[in-house]
Structure 1
């Protein structure tokens, strides 16, 4: 198996270029991040070149964080902001050769929100296609993100089908699926044709994958058996220095 360090959580006390170097030194095969926009793209690109790692993915901006935004793309009336965030993410991804962008839906509900999300995703897919970028959508569990528009893999699959774009895929986060739907491996087998990236963390505390309700040794072995060959994203919240939580990486 290969693994990607999600630098939104791992080494997040370091400047992003330094976190990339730390991930390389720890033995990760790739990196990914949440919102890199405050760091000049050329600095990130230089760190990626130095380490030989690839930045696998980043997120669109959440919006106005002080007002509680957690994404914009399913919110009726905010299409201009949503598409500006999409354009920004695509430009940044292009600058650092990142193949995936997670388009964040935000807090919304109802048919108008669905229509808004579908239209914005079509815009994102069409705009990203020229650069060979895949657009990802990720269901977030209602315990961590109550009211988030996208909450389970069935809903995500229906939206992917409705959008009808080849470069729209599912971000399958084992943690969120474990919290909301359970049966992580069963859901993964069913969803695999739609999956563009896989992430993981312990359930239910979102810590390192060496404890909790999900046996990740079994999960990793099954993912390998399914023929998945891309790095798996370690998106967990360390309760101490990141280096002290990496025992699982050596054994995996």
Structure 2
């Protein structure tokens, strides 16, 4: 397996360029970001060029404090699309493969219609930029009232949007918390998956801790033909370097 370091959780005490260098030194094959927008973009690009690490993706901004994206919020279309434009501008400039369009806290038919409209907008922007679009169900324990919270809900939205460049972010951690059977859900969603992430469950620590045995999970994902880096999106609980023992033990799974 190959792995991508999610620098939204790993080496967060460092500026993003230094964190990219740390990921390369640790042996990661790629990086991904949450919200890089306050960083010096030129310095981030220089670090990516120096390390030659690809960028698997980044997120649209959350919006105001207490929000978790705007794309599914009725009445916020102009703001949501400004955040989409910002994210794709950064993604194209950094050579990122995907943008995760954050839905936000919302519910109901109007929210669903708004989310689909904004995903179609993002698909158009992404096609011009050469960057994919991702959506991700978040578990209701960590993100109560987040609009998108289950795999089948996401698959239904993807079917309605029906754009080749709009795909599912399959986070093993969120699936483990909400739906339990990671392997069954992975197989169910496999044709629409655009990126895979993982963390220990239920505490979102390193993948060699917690209730999920990731050795068979990674082996199953590899056996499906998946050959892209898997995103390590976990909370190290202190020093990131001290949390990386799993790279050796699970990297051969």
SS at match of 1:130: helix
What TM-score do you get using the length of structure 1 for normalisation?
Answer: 0.98
C-alpha distance after superposition, 1:137-179 (max 9, x if no partner): 0000000000000000000000001111110000000000000
Distance in 2, matches of 1:119 and 1:212, equals 38
TM superposition shift of 1:223: 0.9
Please give the alpha-carbon distance, in whole angstroms, between the structure 2 residues aligned to 1:235 and 1:113.
27
Q: Secondary structure at the match of 2:129?
A: coil
Q: How big is the alpha-carbon RMSD for the aligned residues of Structure 1 and Structure 2?
A: 0.6
Aligned to 1:36: 36
Runs of 5+ consecutive residues of structure 2 not aligned to the other structure: none
Deviation digits for residues 203-224 of structure 1, max 9, x if unmatched? 1000000021111011111111
Q: Which residue does 1:202 correspond to in 2?
A: 200
Give the match for residue 106 of structure 1: 104
Q: Secondary structure at the match of 2:225?
A: coil
Residue aligning to 1:223: 221
Q: 1:129 matched to which residue of 2?
A: 127
Q: Once the 2 structures are TM-superposed, how far is the Cα of residue 116 of structure 1 from its aligned partner?
A: 0.2
For 1:215 and 1:32, the matched residues in 2 are separated by 24
String of CA shifts for 1:68-111, please: whole Å, max 9, x gaps: 11100000000010000000000001111101000000000000
Matched, 1:192 2:190: yes
What stretches of structure 1 of length at least 5 have no aligned partner? none
SS in 2 for 1:240: coil
Q: Which residue number corresponds to residue 21 of structure 1?
A: 21
2:4 is the alignment partner of 1:4:
yes
1:37: Cα distance to partner? 0.3
TM-score by length of 2: 0.98
Task: Give the number of equivalent residue pairs.
Answer: 250
